[in-house]
Structure 1
Amino acid sequence: MPDRFSPEQQAAVGNRVLCVHHRRRRVIALALASVTVAWLGVLAPAHAQEFPSQPIKLVVPLTPGGSNDVLARTLAEKLSGLWHQSVIVENRPGASGNIGADAVARAPAGGHTLLVAPNNVFVVNHSLSPRLEAAKDLAPVTLLGTVPFVLVAGSSAKVGSVKELIELSKSRPAGLSYASSGIGSPHHLAAEMFRSMTGARMTHVPYKGGAPAIVDLLGGQVDVQFGAINQLLPHIRDGKLKALAIVGNERVPLVPDVPTLAEAGVPGWQGEVWVGLAAPPRTPPAIIERLNRDVRKVLAQPEVQARMADQGIVLKGSTIAQMAQTIEDDTKRWAEVIKEANIKAE
């Protein structure tokens, strides 16, 4: 420094230079921190977009061959091509879907293990079985579609209409027996609602799956069944089972001559059997949204629509919020049926 400055002045100037230097370092550090935070914010969504990072498993809590299984295998085929990852279907039947649902509920929350299941798994089972507390927290992804149910009579109940069925049930001391795929299953709940609405005398005979129930229905061990149209249609066409009514608000093109329950003399029916997709609890929202978007894209494909229509399945994708609301509404609706019929878990 020039000699005209005193030592004290030189020291003051030096201090000011150091302060400026420290302020600059602090500003640079803050700027770098801001850039780092912004960069991490970019990386977080990018990480979510990396899904799926490994093979995906679609768990169907029912036996192979049913509506849920057919739909899951179609999804697996299309999603595998979309995601460039293997998508496999694993059937884990038992306890009206409880075993498979509980397995998914306890799986890692990364979106690589998913559940394809009917509505009873989401709205009924956890109410019937206290041990399924985890399953009630499954994360909704999307509704997949509805499965028309049909009321059929076997050879042991020689009736030609719903009215005749109700009359026959009241004329027999023990009433009629009806088959289901298990306690709390859609087959069971539909029959109990029918019994409540009509006063028909009916006794429940639960099976471990829809296939063995149909075998005994064909063999005359049980009288009637409410079941999925795609499983019962071959036997209806062969004349081995008599289709009495469609359980829903509209007729089904596969059996156009079969009336709805309302047309058959049972007005006021509410509720339909639907299939939904869910993920384990605590699955990141970004992954749930990705799943919803990609699955709905598959459901909208004309080829998939046509393939499922041949099975009697009506595809209906939904938002995450719509599925959550459907679960809430149906839980209230079926709670009344469960209470009235005094349905207990196995």
Structure 2
Amino acid sequence: MAALARARGPLQLRRRDQMSPVRGVGLTDEIMIREKTMLKGMLGALALATTALTTTALVPLAAVAQEFPTRPITLIVPAPPGGGTDVFARQIAEAVEPILKQKVIVDNRAGGGGTVGTTLVAAAKPDGYTLGFIWNSPLTTSPHSLTVAYTPDTYASVMSIGYSSYVLCAAPDFPAATGQELIDQIKANPGKFTYGNDGLGGTMQLAAERVFAKVGAKVRPVPFGGAGETARNFLGGHVTFYGGSLPPILPHAAAGKAKCLLLTSAAKNPALPQASGLDDIGLGAEETVLWWGLIAPAKTPPAVLATLEKAFMEAASTPKFKEVMEKQGATQRVLGAKETGALIRKELDALGTVAKAIGIERKAQ
């Protein structure tokens, strides 16, 4: 029995009132203290684990913002090499490279009046490495005459660099010396005059018709395959007025072969000081100009878009880039993402109203 007692002894629990090894603390109290200590330890470990997981989740986003870009960027230009859009794209690519510390590769993707390249940009991976340097026509004009695979919701505006007026020019002997006198002559002779433009439903036609509709004037549009062709036909006497961008007509205006009278911009243009701006005839709100900007695919991370916006705005604001624009008869007006996006939507709506009024129908590409 004594042996049995000795064997059982270590297995017996101490009595409830037996003291623990901790001086002055009962066994029950000791157990509670140990449980609380273990619980605190578990909660502390859980808090540390949660903090670690949160930090780990945030690190990639922070790294993206800090490290972008880590490789060359492709800048899609939906126009052939050599034109104004291509010139500006290559100049801004060169200017932004030292800011981003990466190569920017210009990739010309012409076709469909700029809609082919624009479609490629909208469909690209939204990582900031494929961008589009685009003039406004594919964004605000073509969607009214062509079925396109993009909308302002499928691309993100990044910034814009400035604009160039379209202009209406007459022969040197035309009986008008100002924009207002030009309008007066047109209104006094409804349907008598013709104006060349760079294509049916193009930005120039919609810009002109927007003004004509506001003043109640009637002029017959004659579409050509671009501003250069329009200029040749105007100089050949096949149309009454040249309607198009400034670069093709500037040398002829300087030589006295064209009298440029009315711009489609609100303000005057130093390249053609004799031409009236729309503000001069009280129609500044009807401004429609040729402008250029940068877009990215929708869903590009906001931090990446912010980096691109800042870098390209800095590049476009340099005196050297301004000089390049002025040589092309363009005006530097650097706008950020918010302002550029608002400009696109406003112009898209306004030109849609004009296209509907003159009976332009959307066609499949």
TM-score tier by shorter-chain length is 0.7 to 0.9
Tell whether the 8 Å contact from 2:115 to 2:148 is kept in structure 1 after alignment.
no
Match of 1:74 among 91, 103, 113: 91
Partner of 1:268: 283
Q: Deviations over 1:274-306 (max 9, x none)?
A: 322211111111111111111111122222223
For residues 139 and 83 of structure 1, the distance between their equivalents in structure 2, rounded to whole angstroms, comes to 19
Instruction: Report % sequence identity.
Output: 25
| Partner AA of 1:93 in structure 2 | A
For residues 200 and 74 of structure 2, the distance between their equivalents in structure 1, rounded to whole angstroms, comes to 26
- Residue 61 in structure 1 maps to residue 75 in structure 2: no
Partner of 2:345: 328
- Out of 110-119 and 37-46, give the one that drifted further: 37-46
| Partner AA of 1:323 in structure 2 | T
Does the residue aligned with 1:316 lie in a helix, a strand or coil?
strand
Structure 1 unaligned segments of length 5 or more: list them: none
Structure 1 residue 227, shift from structure 2 partner: 2.0
Partner of 2:24: none
Normalised by the length of structure 1, the TM-score is: 0.82
For residues 7 and 192 of structure 1, the distance between their equivalents in structure 2, rounded to whole angstroms, comes to 103
Normalised by the length of structure 2, the TM-score is: 0.79
| Partner AA of 1:100 in structure 2 | G
Tell whether the 8 Å contact from 1:150 to 1:229 is kept in structure 2 after alignment.
yes
Q: Deviations over 1:26-74 (max 9, x none)?
A: 4123213213413542441221232223222222223334332222121
Partner of 1:288: 305
- Out of 140-149 and 102-111, give the one that drifted further: 140-149
Q: CA RMSD in A?
A: 3.4
Partner of 1:230: 247
| Partner AA of 2:77 in structure 1 | V
Q: Name the CA shift for 1:306/1:133 in 2 (closer, same or farther; >3 Å).
A: closer
Structure 1 residue 230, shift from structure 2 partner: 2.9
Does the residue aligned with 2:247 lie in a helix, a strand or coil?
helix
- Residue 257 in structure 1 maps to residue 274 in structure 2: yes
For residues 222 and 333 of structure 1, the distance between their equivalents in structure 2, rounded to whole angstroms, comes to 27
Alignment of 1:146-185 (within 5 A): 146-153=163-170, 159=174, 161=176, 163=181, 167=185, 175-180=193-198, 182-185=199-202
Q: Which has the larger radius of gyration?
A: 2
- Residue 117 in structure 1 maps to residue 134 in structure 2: yes
Q: Name the CA shift for 1:282/1:65 in 2 (closer, same or farther; >3 Å).
A: same
Q: Name the CA shift for 1:26/1:151 in 2 (closer, same or farther; >3 Å).
A: same
Partner of 2:14: 6
For residues 102 and 203 of structure 1, the distance between their equivalents in structure 2, rounded to whole angstroms, comes to 29
- Out of 281-290 and 146-155, give the one that drifted further: 146-155
| Partner AA of 2:287 in structure 1 | G
Does the residue aligned with 1:321 lie in a helix, a strand or coil?
helix
For residues 298 and 124 of structure 2, the distance between their equivalents in structure 1, rounded to whole angstroms, comes to 9
Structure 2 unaligned segments of length 5 or more: list them: 1-9, 21-26
